[in-house]
Amino acid sequence: MLEEAGIIDGYAARLDRHALGLEADVFVEISLTSQSQETLNQFEKAVMCYDEILECHLTSGNADYIVRVAARNVPDYDRIHRNCLTKLPHVASMRSTFALRAIKPWKGYPVQ
């Protein structure tokens, strides 16, 4: 029924990040140098090139984007920061927040 209605977007397995050795879950607030359409498009296109970036959301508020990154540990996040995040175009500032633990991890949208 959900498939016929076009509600199911696809199927995927949920992997345990700890079993994969990914101990650090990091959320990074990114502000850009401008909010012009060209700047946003270039940033969003670049984000798609990095597998290390798990999610990217255009947001309102202080930051233009919030990205989520999983890393093995702090030195691995430093590698991702240097080799991935700092190479994104038009970045004016970044602020990283390390999740201590997930209280209610994402399980999917509620279906009623």
Per-residue pLDDT of the chain (112 residues; tens, 9 = 90+): 788 888 888 899 999 999 999 999 999 999 999 999 999 999 999 999 999 999 999 999 999 999 999 999 999 999 999 999 999 999 999 999 999 999 998 888 887 7
Domain count, the chain: 1
| Domain presence at residue 66 | yes
Radius of gyration from C-alpha coordinates of the chain: 16
Beta-bridged to residue 25, according to DSSP, are 70
| Calpha distance 21→70 (Å, rounded) | 10
Range of the domain at 52: 24-98
